[in-house]
Amino acid sequence: MTRFIHDQFSKDFIESLLAPFGSIKAPSRVAAEVKMIDILFTPRVLQNPELAPLGLLGKFAEFPAIFEPFRNPVQEDDISDCIIRVLEVQKALQREAKRNKTVLSETAIPKQWILTPTISDDILSKCKADPDANWMSGVYLTADILRTAIVAIHELPSRSETLWLRMLGRDTTQKNAIDEFISLSDNNSFKQATLECLYNFKQNLEFYKPEDTEETELLMRLAPLYQQDRELAKQEGRAEGRVEGRVEEGQRLVLRQLNRRFGEIDASIIERVRLLSTEQLEALGEALLDFSALSDLEAWLNQVLQ
């Protein structure tokens, strides 16, 4: 369950940083058989110089991009699934251009960036993914036809250009990035959006009471950021408007998970989820991992709320 929380933070974080510069679809469905891509970003302006403060992440977003962040080291099957999805997006764009009798430019087809804390040399070899002189260490490009690059976050140089990506790493890499983030000026245009994401991340982790040592240490590291966010909220008059409480946080997390698993959820199911207690929400979060269809969810709700 906590892996989903980390995945959700990664998606929220990237979306919040890139939202001012273009449109984002997350998650986005592709193909007749439902497959979900994590983040599809389309910039309003190609090669926008205003993306420069985001460093390497900004360079990735200069052209249409798909972002697939992974909490744990990406595996072969994960990479295969990602490549299938990006090629399906390409085919869909080509079909649309053909219907509209327009020319699809190369820059209009998204490139995929798989974000993983680490990756084995064996998997890189099987993917024919190699470093490139035009990119810094940690970035591996597959064959052009696959439109995919793999970013090993823990191999990125520890400098300002990689800060926003290193925030998505693990252990020492993520802790060091958080320390660097804290030292940023309060005038940094991306600091408040990041604080909001970290606040929600902290609340969601606390809701599921992590027993993992790494996550416990991460919670302790996020505590001062929460206080900083609350102070900023008071200064800006946002405090009263923030949704508070463990139950509300749990509802939001579970509903996000349901939307990612099954797509758009009927309003009647949403209302029933809102009737669940904290303990029931925790149980649903765990049970959801075994659901294969919406009917499983409805049966579970019927049993719990009878």
Q: What is the CB neighbour count within 10 angstroms for residue 43?
A: 18
SS (H, E, C) 188-242: CCCHHHHHHHHHHHHHHHHHCCCCCHHHHHHHHHHHHHHHHHHHHHHHHCCHHHC
Is residue 226 within 8 A of residue 206, CB to CB? The reply is no
- Residue 201's Cα: distance from chain center in Å? 12
Exposed/middle/buried for residue 125 (C-beta within 10 Å: 0-12, 13-18, 19+):
exposed
With left for phi above 0 and alpha for psi between -120 and 50, is residue 283 left, alpha or beta? alpha
Predicted pLDDT at 31? 46
pTM higher than the cut 0.85: no
> Among the residues of the chain, which ranges form H helices?
2-18, 55-60, 76-100, 121-126, 163-166, 171-182, 191-207, 213-236, 246-262, 267-273, 278-287, 294-304
**Pairing between β-strand 111-116 and β-strand 130-131 as defined by DSSP bridges:** unpaired
Predicted pLDDT at 186? 81
Computed from CA positions of residues 121, 127, 128, 134, in that sequence, does the dihedral angle turn out positive or negative? negative
With left for phi above 0 and alpha for psi between -120 and 50, is residue 95 left, alpha or beta? alpha
Predicted pLDDT at 33? 42
224's tokens: 């001062």
Angle at 208 between CA 206 and CA 213, to 5 degrees: 75
Residues 6+ apart with CB under 8 A from 176: 158, 166
Angle at 301 between CA 263 and CA 9, to 5 degrees: 45
Question: Cα–Cα distance between 157 and 230 in angstroms, integer?
Answer: 32
Tens-digit pLDDT string for the chain (306 aa): 466 778 888 988 998 899 899 988 755 555 444 356 778 999 999 999 999 999 999 999 999 999 999 999 999 999 999 999 999 999 999 999 999 999 999 999 999 999 999 999 999 999 999 999 999 999 999 999 999 999 999 999 999 999 999 999 999 999 999 999 988 988 898 988 888 788 778 777 776 666 667 777 777 777 776 666 556 555 555 544 444 455 666 677 777 777 766 777 788 888 888 888 777 877 787 777 677 778 888 888 888 887
Is residue 17 within 8 A of residue 50, CB to CB? The reply is no
- From the list 150, 157, 169, 164, the residue with the least C-alpha distance to 68 is 150
Q: Report helix, strand or coil for 43.
A: strand
Question: Cα–Cα distance between 213 and 219 in angstroms, integer?
Answer: 10
Predicted pLDDT at 289? 64
290's tokens: 């075994």
H/E run at residue 113: strand 111-116
Residue with token string 């027993």? 211
